[in-house]
Amino acid sequence: MGEFDLIRRFFAPLSQRRGHPDLLLAIGDDCAIERVPHDRDLVFSIDTQIEGVHFPHHYAPRRIAGRALAAATSDLAAMGATPVCFTLALTLPQAESTWLSEFAKGLAETANRFELALAGGDTTRGPLSITIQVHGTVARDRALRRSGARPGDIVAVSGTLGDAGAALDYLDVPSPGPLEDALLARYHYPAPRLELGQALAGVASSAIDISDGLTSDLGHILEASGVGASIDLDRIPLSGALKQLKGANAVQLALHAGDDYELCVTIPRQRWQDLPGSVRDQLTAIGCIEEGAGLRLSDGNGREDGASQGYDHFGKDL
Ligand SMILES: [Mg+2]
């Protein structure tokens, strides 16, 4: 199968299925054309997933596509953006129809979920890797950044943390139990917080998505904002499944494991109090921003150092 056949068969349908009004031209020309409305800013981000590093060897192609697109889209959520379109660079050892068909299915399902159209891409031969660039827009000057946290702001996170990290131990288990299944679902099907991010655009003082672990990602906010923070470990939200999982150090996973794709945000106190209930219900306040640099973690029994890092892109293989 040649490159053009492959694109026509598996990927062109994704650019037609759901057109976004801002995407004027998609697959089939030298470039795609996107129109950015005059009152909005374009935000874009690129993300690469490599077999054996970001997902296991022989991982289901449908899940590879879904996870890669969800991980990339999570960066749009962190900026408070509304998705528009994405481009895909796919490197494959061989063009195998069944694999491609499953991959395209996963990509289509996820693209439809986030209302993203495929704008274009490139395919090459080599070790399996998927690079996705996502485009979104946000009302002018309202994008959430990492640099706006100020002393006194509430630090909050969405959902629950640590499940996807706990799931890593069960990826190869032939018939996992219900607890493990619940954790695996968090790993296989990340759910970027697009609507929450959009609701917080212009409200939160800073935001980041938790891809590498809470301490690591919150650390980026602290560094970019030139502030520190105190976190109460007892307040970190954990799922029922993770709490019940025997032998797991739930809090450590929540702090240091990646792949959760929840949001970590900082919000000035008054705005926190004014948040609509439907938005605040998606968040848990876990601490506050302080003047002194660094991350201070404490629980009911005293203090713990916040020096440990999250996922290190050059230090771990699956
Ligand atoms: Mg990110």
Lowest mean pLDDT across 79-88, 138-147, 247-256, 270-279 = 247-256
Asked whether the predicted pLDDT for residue 8 surpasses 80, the reply is no
CA triple 114-117-122, angle to 5 deg: 120
Q: Looking at residue 318, what is its pLDDT?
A: 44
Annotated binding residues for substrate, written as ranges, equal 54, 259, 311
Model confidence band, residue 43 (pLDDT cutoffs 50, 70, 90) = very high
User: Comparing 173 with 209, which gets the higher pLDDT?
Assistant: 209
**How far, in Å, from the CA of 282 to the mean position of ligand 1?**
19
Residue 317 in this model has a pLDDT that exceeds 50: no
How far is ligand 1, taken at its centre, from the CA of residue 316, in Å?
A: 18
Q: What is the pLDDT of residue 303?
A: 59
Residues 131-176: tens digit of each pLDDT:
999 999 999 999 999 999 999 999 999 999 999 999 999 998 889 8
Q: Which residues are annotated as a binding site for Mg(2+)?
A: 30, 45, 47, 75, 122, 209, 212
- Given a cut of 80, is residue 300 above it in pLDDT? no
> 262: CA distance to ligand 1 center in Å?
10
Whether the pLDDT of residue 312 is over 80: the answer is: no
The Å distance, Cα 48 to ligand 1 centre, comes to 12
Average confidence (pLDDT) over 238-257: 92
Domains belonging to the chain, first-starting first, are: 3-139 (3.30.1330.10), 154-304 (3.90.650.10)
Question: What does the pLDDT read at residue 307?
Answer: 46
What's the chain look like in SS3?
CCHHHHHHHHHHHHHHHCCCCCEEECECECCCEECCCCCEEEEEEEEEEEECCCECCCCCHHHHHHHHHHHHHHHHHHHCCEEEEEEEEEEECCCCHHHHHHHHHHHHHHHHHHCCEEEEEEEEECCCEEEEEEEEEEECCCCCCCCCCCCCCEEEEECCCCHHHHHHHHCCCCCCCHHHHHHHHHHHCCCCCHHHHHHHCCCCCEEEEECCCHHHHHHHHHHHHCCEEEEEHHHCCCCHHHHHCCCCCHHHHHHHCCCCCEEEEEECHHHHHHCCHHHHCCEEEEEEEECCCEEEEEECCEEECCCCCCCCCCCCCC
pLDDT surpassing 70 at residue 306: no
pLDDT of residue 247: 81
Q: What's the 209 CA to ligand 1 centre distance in angstroms?
A: 5
Neighbouring residues of the ion ligand 1, judged by CB less than 5 Å: 75, 209
- For residue 315, pLDDT beyond 80: no
Distance 230 CA to ligand 1 centre (A): 22
- In this prediction, residue 308 has a pLDDT band, given cuts at 50, 70 and 90, of very low
2 alpha carbon – ligand 1 mean position (Å):
34
Binding residues for ATP: 121-122, 146, 211
Residues 259, 216 contacting (CB under 8 angstroms) = no
